[in-house]
Amino acid sequence: MKALDVAKYIINKCIEKDKYISNLQLQKIMYFVHLEFLRETYRKLIDDESFEARECGPIMKSVYNKFGIYGGFTIDDIQECHIELKPEEEKSIDKILNEYIKLKPWELVQRSQNPNGAWKKVYKNGEGDKRVISDELIEKEAGLRE
């Protein structure tokens, strides 16, 4: 699936639940939805681009470019979304989303910067800023590789 489609789906689901999120929260929730979906299904959810390591944690550049204009404010506009999910995909994504939507922005950032996680291995105190987080590292964080 395309990163922007997943982002729009998440935004719309959050609005539907009256849980408005910022771009920062969106980026982290996307990472965890991708990570947990991979862990549960052994399949990548987002397949059109890779996460990048940034100071605040993993991001998707296309999503950042589209929703960064909101700054720290919440995204409160319903997004035109043409994503077609299989029932099991929707169930899995919604379950993961419901878990992470409860967390505060700083909690999401902390979790995304897990000392043993993919972001930490790439970012390296700023040396890896804007570098791609490889699928292999994300798979390791998901427990699918050693």
The pLDDT assigned to 146 comes to: 83
23: which DSSP letter?
H
Q: Which stretches of the chain drop beneath a pLDDT of 50? A: none
pLDDT on residue 73: 96
Residue 1: both structure tokens together: 């699936």
pLDDT at 145: 87
Q: How many domains does the chain have?
A: 1
Residue type, 44: K
Q: So what's the pLDDT on residue 57?
A: 97
Give exposure, 49-60, as e/b (b: 16+ Cβ within 10 Å).
ebbbbbebbbbb
* Structural domain containing residue 133: 3-142
Q: What is the pTM of this model?
A: 0.95
